[in-house]
Amino acid sequence: MSFLNGSSPRRHAAESDIEAGPSARRSADLDDGDFSDPFDIARTKNASIERLRRWRQAALVLNASRRFRYTLDLKKEEEKKQILRKIRAHAQAIRAAYLFKAAGGESRSEPIKPIPIPTGGEFPIGQEQLASISREHDTAALQQYGGVVGLSDLLKTNLEKGVHGDDADLLKRKNAFGSNNYPRKKGRGFLMFMWDACKDLTLVILMIAAAASLALGIKSEGIKEGWYDGGSIAFAVILVIVVTAISDYKQSLQFRDLNEEKRNIHLEVIRGGRRVEISIYDIVVGDVIPLNIGNQVPADGILITGHSLAIDESSMTGESKIVHKDSKDPFLMSGCKVADGSGIMLVTGVGINTEWGLLMASISEDTGEETPLQVRLNGVATFIGIVGLSVAVVVLIVLLARYFSGHTKNSDGSAQFTAGKTKVGDAIDGAIKIVTVAVTIVVVAVPEGLPLAVTLTLAYSMRKMMADKALVRRLSACETMGSATTICSDKTGTLTMNQMTVVEAYAGGMKIHPPHKLESYPLLRSLLIEGVAQNTNGSVYAPEDANDVKEVSGSPTEKAILHWGLKLGMDFTAARSESSIIHVFPFNSEKKRGGVALQTSDSDIHIHWKGAAEIVLACCTGYIDANDQLVEMDEKMTFFRKAIEDMAADSLRCVAIAYRSYEKEKVPTNEDLLAHWSLPEDDLILLAIVGLKVRMVTGDNVKTAKAIAVECGILGSYADATEPNIIEGKTFRGLSDAQRDEIADMISVMGRSSPNDKLLLVQSLRRKGHVVAVTGDGTNDAPALHEADIGLAMGIQGTEVAKESSDIIILDDNFSSVVKVVRWGRSVYANIQKFIQFQLTVNVAALVINVVAAVSSGDVPLNAVQLLWVNLIMDTLGALALATEPPTDHLMDRPPVGRREPLITNIMWRNLLIQAMYQVSVLLVLNFRGRSILGLSHDKNDHAIKVKNTLIFNAFVLCQIFNEFNARKPDEYNIFKGVTKNYLFMGIIGLTVVLQIVIVEFLGKFTSTVRLNWKQWLICVVIGIISWPLAVIGKLIPVPTTPIKNVFTKCGTSGSGRKEREESQ
């Protein structure tokens, strides 16, 4: 296993790393964040429901259905658990009934009567009979049909070659027994998203205000002129609702597609005598499916043959008990996992006719899952919302006080309200306009779209990552990957291509060249062919046309050895038929070897072992020499060990093949004893040691790991290849927790590591404050994948168990895809920060301008419709433009973002305050001195105010458009870099400019604006464009590295408190 660490300064400064928190409470605090802050959840991967409920209750929310859309629905989660409990109880009741029946059947052994087979239809057996056998685990009924052999005849299946597999045959089976699918709950339609957007409290108030304004306007001014005020607000609100709903609906479609991709498992079936890979949805009743460790049982079925097959049925029964399957209990349930061993099953039930299908159909597919960033953004949104709400209340009180006290003037200087003289309708209309402005300030100030911007950028990133061969299973992994400081990666198939060939072989006590030239060793060759053909999980399909290439399937190691066997002259089918398998010890990564016991045609017992060369060699006491004679190992042991070292130094994977004969009398005859028989692994006779060239850490020899690590650049040179930089798994395992924590940071390569070593290392690194990503493909990697902050499973070689424990599946098993995931992860974080900077600038500017103007003159330059348009630019369109920025190489030059680093960095504060102060000062000058500056002193008072306010509105919007460019690159001078490649950004900027021109020039009646001449347009553009050079000047101002929040915290902390904390550390 190799470890690719984040930037070195961070690695060596782990103790002071801000993301780790004080070391005394680090391990406890690691997963659950600081309990004093409900919005600080460092890791939602295994967060408690209570913890997730707390932050929801703490959030200030005006539209819960939109704000919490992609978070976990806690109520639904509870319902889901209840349904699971019911279905599991049902499965357990069936099992209890079956056991009771079986116990009763033992006491009176009646002869088995064959069940009458119904005639009619394509198949002599119907779906109901099959379902009752499978669901009720009815062994008696199975025997009455003639066991698995009888059942296969009824299903017209060959137990060795499977179904024919042609389209007509598959269609018949689908029509007779159904397809392996279940009815999905319909996704939410577009109208539901419209309804969700309408639930926003502020928009509801605005709609009521618009209706009241409409009624009063029509009453006082007539229908021709009176509908503009109310109608324009209503239209603006509807526009906000529609744009919001479209954006949300598109996101939901993306998630639906990704969910479908997650469910679409690919697996091998035997059809027409060959192994073919198909989608789980294409399985039909009658299919013959090989099962190996880590596979998911894809449908209900009956075991044909099995070797130490153990099934984890916890997903169905809720009990974490491993059930051993054999001829006494051959029933396999869909959705369960293969925990150990291997076997071949006959499919008897698919889709909705299985317990799993019923379970999946009754549970709605909920994509809800909050991410730490989403939770933190809810905290930011709550803080901004409280400020905005306070400002809106102040504005409302000031404006109402000024209005009813007669201080609010019309454009001609007369008071808008005079007690006793102003009509009630006019007074109400004036008050409604004031309320509308205050509510609109809340709309602009409460950023409901802020947490949704995370989902938007995650949905976009997930789609793009799919193209980069990474399937995201958990949303939060996408963003956590941006904080990853350490990646623990397997070598085979991740750092190296997963294709192997045998390039060296030692047999007969010497090196064989070429490696398959063994014609002159008949006994050795025949024993090797026997071992290669029988001791394998792979298979060889020989097409009927002798000229066609033989198809070899299995893991890369198995395929390489089978190809070597074919070159030795092996006829796979014939070799397997010459001996029968008595017992199998499946290969596992703990023992690093696998074995098989065979009975030959002469009734001799042969036990074959294959596995890690040095481990198998240690069990050998002899070898077969060049004369086909058995020779004691003695001094040759040194020769073989040297051969293994030489091959490992050349980056070859070394595999030893050995065998021994065994006394037939010692082989257990009882099936139960045989199932638990440990294959003898002493006194072995070495047949061959082969070196597999990996063309393509690790269970490999330390020397292989060292050679590949130097080649990859993980180790600088062979001089670095000393402990603790490079360590063996057993050495690491033998250390205490404290010692492991001490050296975890320094380890770069771990050789001969077991999955448990990987888990120990992940725990040590996380205790040290690292954000750890782990790659894995085997079933035994599942604990490490689960424990890590981000688990990355391999898509090609990964087992279903590994994939289920992972957060991201690397579809092409390539490390470059892992690097792309890191880029996208950092991009998610960077894009959210860009959006926050942009949004806060608009918030601060809009709030300050309206508050100052309202308090000083009783009039606000930005009215309700204009603010709603600004909100649309800022919230939905701004999120779309900035949240979909593709990642750049610049992101990879930065250190990883700490888990607890503030969302709003000092650089962002500097940028947004400079821009907001500039906008506020320019626009307030225009508000109070605009008439004289713009030369409008001689115009009519009413027209001059309208021109001034229109110019303020136009300049404000153009400032946001120009500032959107600044937000793209918060810490770079060249803000235009790569802008033309981001078509969505350019499109949104273009659309905003066009709509702004239309609003100002043609929709004056609705937005209370007037047309501007070219000089005034030029002034607006100049005001906006100044933000570009201003941003460059701003970036020259240095900022402190300590976050502002920490500065305030330090100021507020007394010296004694600080001392106490240091002592506790």
Task: Judge if the upstream peptide bond of residue 116 is cis by omega within 30 degrees of 0.
Answer: no
Region 839-860: what's the mean pLDDT? 80
CB 448, CB 62: distance < 8 Å = yes
Region 839-866: what's the mean pLDDT? 80
Is the pLDDT at 115 greater than 90, yes or no?
Answer: no
Tallying the residues shown for the chain, one arrives at 1065
Is the pLDDT at 364 greater than 60, yes or no?
Answer: no
Band of pLDDT at residue 70, cut at 50, 70 and 90: low
pLDDT of residue 617: 92
Is the pLDDT at 367 greater than 60, yes or no?
Answer: no
Q: DSSP strand E in 194-292: where?
A: 266-271, 274-279, 288-291
Is the pLDDT at 65 greater than 70, yes or no?
Answer: no
Q: Give the pairing type, strands 684-694 and 620-624.
A: parallel
pLDDT of residue 1021: 94
Select which of 312, 490, 807, 813 is catalytic. Answer: 490
Region 365-388: what's the mean pLDDT? 71
Minimum mean pLDDT among 223-232, 846-855, 975-984: which range? 223-232
pLDDT of residue 936: 77
Is the pLDDT at 3 greater than 50, yes or no?
Answer: no
Sequence-separated (6 or more) residues with CB below 8 Å from residue 560: 500, 501, 502, 692
pLDDT of residue 1026: 94
Is the pLDDT at 824 greater than 50, yes or no?
Answer: yes
What percentage of residues in the chain have a pLDDT greater than 90?
Answer: 10
The pair phi, psi for residue 178, each rounded to 5°, is 90, 170
Most confident of 40-54, 227-241, 745-759, 1021-1035: 1021-1035
CB 907, CB 485: distance < 8 Å = no
DSSP 606-652: EEEEEEEHHHHHHTEEEEE-TTS-EEE-TTHHHHHHHHHHHHHHTTE
Is the pLDDT at 451 greater than 60, yes or no?
Answer: yes
Is the pLDDT at 26 greater than 60, yes or no?
Answer: no
Q: What is the pLDDT of residues 279-329, one digit of tens each?
A: 888 999 999 999 888 788 888 999 998 887 888 877 666 666 788 888 888
Task: Output the six-digit token pair for 109.
Answer: 């052994």
pLDDT of residue 433: 78
Is the pLDDT at 157 greater than 80, yes or no?
Answer: yes
Band of pLDDT at residue 866, cut at 50, 70 and 90: confident
Q: Residue 368: in which H helix or E strand, if any?
A: none
Which DSSP state fits 371? Answer: -
Residue 860 CA to residue 864 CA, distance in Å, equals 10
Is the pLDDT at 213 greater than 80, yes or no?
Answer: no
pLDDT of residue 494: 64
CA 881 to chain CA mean position, Å: 23
pLDDT of residue 655: 93
Compute the C-alpha angle 506/508/512, nearest 5°.
Answer: 40
Region 390-413: what's the mean pLDDT? 79
Band of pLDDT at residue 30, cut at 50, 70 and 90: very low
CB 688, CB 505: distance < 8 Å = yes
Alpha helices (runs of H) in 619-754, residue ranges in sequence order: 636-649, 671-675, 702-712, 729-733, 737-744
pLDDT of residue 101: 64
pLDDT of residue 376: 75
CB 148, CB 331: distance < 8 Å = no
Answer yes or no: 167 catalytic: no
More confident residue, 918 or 602: 918
772, β-bridge pairs: 486
pLDDT of residue 974: 86
Which DSSP state fits 473? Answer: S
Classify burial at 201, counting beta carbons within 10 Å of its beta carbon; exposed 0-12, middle 13-18, buried 19 or more. Answer: middle
Minimum mean pLDDT among 176-180, 332-336, 864-868: which range? 864-868
pLDDT of residue 466: 82
Sign, Cα dihedral of 384, 386, 389, 395: negative
Over the range 929-939, which residues count as b (16 or more CB within 10 Å of their CB) and which as e? ebbeebebeee
Region 255-275: what's the mean pLDDT? 81
Sequence-separated (6 or more) residues with CB below 8 Å from residue 672: none
Q: What is the pLDDT of residues 782-811, one digit of tens each?
A: 788 888 888 888 887 777 778 878 888 888
Task: Output the six-digit token pair for 442.
Answer: 């809340």
Q: Long-range contacts made by residues 1014-1018, C-beta under 8 angstroms, separation at least 24? A: 1016/934, 1016/947, 1016/951, 1016/954, 1017/954
Q: Return the number of other C-beta atoms located less than 10 Å from residue 252's C-beta.
A: 20
Most confident of 27-36, 226-235, 627-636: 627-636
Is 247 in a helix, a strand, or coil?
helix
Is the pLDDT at 33 greater than 60, yes or no?
Answer: no
Residue 424 CA to residue 429 CA, distance in Å, equals 8
Q: What is the pLDDT of residues 734-767, one digit of tens each?
A: 888 888 888 888 888 887 777 788 888 888 888 8
pLDDT of residue 474: 78
Over the range 821-842, which residues count as b (16 or more CB within 10 Å of their CB) and which as e? bbbbbbbbbbbbbbbbbbbbbb
Classify burial at 743, counting beta carbons within 10 Å of its beta carbon; exposed 0-12, middle 13-18, buried 19 or more. Answer: middle
CA 1006 to chain CA mean position, Å: 46
pLDDT of residue 786: 83
pLDDT of residue 109: 43
pLDDT of residue 876: 72
Which DSSP state fits 680? Answer: P
Band of pLDDT at residue 449, cut at 50, 70 and 90: low
Sequence-separated (6 or more) residues with CB below 8 Å from residue 96: none
Average pLDDT value for the chain: 78
Sequence-separated (6 or more) residues with CB below 8 Å from residue 37: 379
What percentage of residues in the chain have a pLDDT greater than 70?
Answer: 80
Farthest-apart Cα atoms in the chain, separation: 124
Is the pLDDT at 107 greater than 70, yes or no?
Answer: no
CB 444, CB 867: distance < 8 Å = yes
Residue 710 CA to residue 721 CA, distance in Å, equals 9
Sequence-separated (6 or more) residues with CB below 8 Å from residue 1040: 906, 1047
Region 140-151: what's the mean pLDDT? 86
583, β-bridge pairs: 597
CA 443 to chain CA mean position, Å: 33
pLDDT of residue 899: 64
Q: Give the pairing type, strands 652-662 and 684-694.
A: antiparallel
Q: Residue 6: in which H helix or E strand, if any?
A: none
Is the pLDDT at 994 greater than 90, yes or no?
Answer: yes
CA dihedral 215, 218, 220, 226 (to 10 degrees): 120
Residue 174 CA to residue 689 CA, distance in Å, equals 48
Is the pLDDT at 672 greater than 90, yes or no?
Answer: no
Q: What is the pLDDT of residues 874-895, one digit of tens each?
A: 677 777 788 788 888 778 787 7
Residue 271 CA to residue 971 CA, distance in Å, equals 59
More confident residue, 334 or 117: 334
Cα Rg, the chain, nearest whole Å: 36
Classify burial at 94, counting beta carbons within 10 Å of its beta carbon; exposed 0-12, middle 13-18, buried 19 or more. Answer: middle
pLDDT of residue 1029: 93
pLDDT of residue 208: 81
Minimum mean pLDDT among 15-24, 196-205, 274-283, 289-298: which range? 15-24
